[in-house]
Amino acid sequence: MKLIGESVSPYFERVYIGLDIKGVTDKLEYGMPDGGFKSDAHFEAHPLGKIPYLVKDDGTTLTEGQLILEYLDRTLGGRLLTPEDFDAATDARAIGRILDLYYAEAVRPMGRVAFGGTATDDEIAKAREQDIPTALAYVSKYMGGGKYAVGDDWTIADCALISHLYWYGALMPRFGLEGFGDNERLADYWARVKDDPVVTRSFARTKKAYDKFFGDKSE
């Protein structure tokens, strides 16, 4: 199987984080779309022309990072990242879904600016003061009291959170938002995991991918 994309995408990176935790990164090939992002083959594989997507052994493709992560979690062996307990599995899936539907939308104005687009001062202010804190509070509703996002083991929820928290930490101070405000649950989680090798490897991959595609914007 071949995973198409790069770690500059948090949706690709969540999959790679899962593979890293499971110790199966060597079970897949990796690359970018054959013919580039505008090729017919790319749009046949992903009708919206996005990444990531997974090319399975039979040649069919699977899209959406969360679906790919759960598919590979079940098919590649290694430790299971989708909890066996149904309630815990529901909480873990809820965190991924909230990040995709609400948090990603909340940070969109900052993302446009960071990658060369524009956003109004009002859009930035609304994102910083209302939309982002609300989305993260919604995420924390489903976080448990264990070491990780849901319980005392890594899950698919951690894969999704870590991939988005890179960009939160890298970009949010630029727009006047630091830390997690009064979201103690998320702040405590981050204090526990931020120095874990899983996290530091992920952040290094993401920064390397960003520098490769856009150049070093840190200065």
- The tokens describing 76, both together, are 């590649």
Residue of 193, 156, 191 whose CA lies nearest to 64:
156
Q: What mean pLDDT comes out for the span 74-86?
A: 94
DSSP conformation letters of 162-199: HHHHHHHHHHGGGGT--TTTT-HHHHHHHHHHTTSHHH
- pLDDT higher than 90, residue 216: no
Q: Is-cis flag, bond preceding 173, omega within 30?
A: no
What torsion, rounded to 10 degrees, do the Cα atoms 119, 167, 51, 202 define?
170
Q: Do domains 2-75 and 86-196 have the same CATH topology?
A: no
The CATH number of 86-196 is: 1.20.1050.10
Burial of residue 153 (CB within 10 Å: 0-12, 13-18, 19+) is middle
How much is the pLDDT for 217?
A: 47
pLDDT band, very low/low/confident/very high, at 218 (cuts 50, 70, 90):
very low
Predicted confidence (pLDDT) per residue in 17-32, tens digit: 999 999 999 999 999 8
Question: Could you tell me the residue ranges of all domains in the chain?
Answer: 2-75, 86-196
Q: What is the pTM of this model?
A: 0.93
Residue of 107, 83, 97, 118 whose CA lies nearest to 160:
97
Name the fold adopted by 2-75. Glutaredoxin (3.40.30)
pLDDT band, very low/low/confident/very high, at 126 (cuts 50, 70, 90):
very high
